[in-house]
Structure 1
Amino acid sequence: MTLAAGPGTRRIDKARAGRPRGETTTAYAFLTPTLALLGVFVFVPLGAALLLSLQRTNGFGDGVYVGMQNYTRLLSDPLFWRATANTALFTIIVTPLSMALGLGIAVLLNSVLPLRSVFRSIVIVPMAVSGVATALIGVLVFDENTGILDKLTRSLGLPEVAWQSGGAAAFASVVLVTLWWRTGFNMLIYLAGLQGIGPELYEAAHMDGANAWQRFRHVTVPMLGPSSFFLVIINVIYSFQVFDIVFVLTGGGPQNATSVLVTYAYDNGFVVRDQGYASAIGIFLLVVSMVFTAVRWRASRTRDLVG
């Protein structure tokens, strides 16, 4: 026997049908401020940069539409490829080294280490200052005439290093200052991941006969998979966008030895006043960052694991 639906049943069905709509409205209400900020400060400037990259400009008056000329110009620009190679080399060096240093310090701080709070504060201190301030500290250390390091080498009778006039030495100074600045952030992320690993996993591995290195290799590293996934993307994107430290420390010199994509875009946009070409460089950098993030996301098998 089939019972007919009464008025009470119809009211319940209407309430159930209306609930998802109300939840959707509430969700959009919470998202609206964030979407508005993203639209004003991200999507609108990004669209303007894309339109500008299709124009030839000189800093005065309206630009002239030239289509894809700025992008084809990239292919034959040796300075662009030099900046691209420097950016890639900087990323390849800084990302693994800063992550390895951060992980090593995090493991020490997670163990029974004397004066852990003091040591942790020393490592975190660079995070409290801006990249410009960090670069100014780097100038005090690596300046060829008045730098602390130069004075120290002279007092010890060691050969002087051309930290600013030598290409390889200038690039090394940028890398060293960046490592000092970025290691603390990586250490904090890894330390949070280490504190989320249950001690029973190490106890079980120890009972199975695993030594300290084997416990680190087969327990710590896999369980830090989500932290490593996050840090690889963040550090690579930062390395692609590095500007302040290079601009203050070396200015891209000597002879473009430390020029990276963002400093090259800055030179074109604000020195040469070719904003269209600078925008094309920025769009290229955005596409490379998005492609890397997408590839890294699809390739990672540990991004959703809880470490």
Structure 2
Amino acid sequence: MLNLHINDEISPLEAVLLGTAESPGPVPDPEEAYDPKSLEHILAGTYPKESDMTREMKAFAHVFEKYEVKVYRPEVLEDCNQIFSRDIAFVIENKLIKANILPEREKEVEAILHVLDEIEPEHILTPPEEVHIEGGDVMPWHGYIFMGTYTADDYSEYITARTNEAAVDYIAQQFPKKTVKSFELRKSNTDALQNALHLDCCFQPLGKGKAILHKNGFLVEEEYRWLLDFFGKENVFEITQEEMYRMFSNVFSISPEVVVSERNFTRLNDWLRGQGFTVEEIPYAEIAKQEGLLRCSTLPLIRTKPKSNSRR
């Protein structure tokens, strides 16, 4: 059986579910787009090809192999985009929470049943129907659970609003010993430069007390300031609107010292190395056209317990 253990975003990774780019189906029609960046590339005729996306995901899998991480993959469903496994489920402590995702994507959960079968049934949580939640909006961080949300009255008008107020309450109820801290995110169905699809599109905690942050992704400046103060301004790499659009904050930590990043993120990667990180650069620019990147493609299952009691 899988002994789930996730308490943060950075502890050494032992097991992960990595999505697949095989058989994603034809280029969607514009009205089928789930986010403004995909729509932009559909309309421009630059939507990513299966061969390019498969190559990029192989590069990611190779990095996991290098660090001896156990990698699970979903069963391949014909004509189904299964790249972003973070959308369908996520782990906090020893519990896997199924995401209530867009109805059109529910079959993606069926493709990971072979993984769920390795988890004790009592450790799998299925939120009630009114709870809308996706893993990109949920970040366990030691005594905290950071959550992206959108709670305005026009929530239902945004296909880019994926996690609601009921989800914040649900997670708080399930993990009463944790402090749930929620952040209102900026949403747009049509402008990718003005859309933080998930929390990990504008924020990412790293090892060594560092973090990546983009101010305009947050609707409430005080909430952005809270994160800036929590990590300390000197420890935060602030990204521009263009860099958020390119998904600079959606990197992935294999350990407190090792970060997987897109090879074209020169400014970020140079900064990371300057802070003492090992940066594993891989090509991922084609997959990024769907408004998701490295963290979105992963569902971490087991991270080893940190050796220190530091919260950062």
**TM-score range, shorter-chain basis?**
under 0.3
Question: TM-score, structure 2 length as denominator?
Answer: 0.24
Q: Which has the higher strand share?
A: 2
How does the TM-score come out when normalised to structure 1? 0.25
Report which of the two structures shows the higher radius of gyration computed on alpha carbons: 1
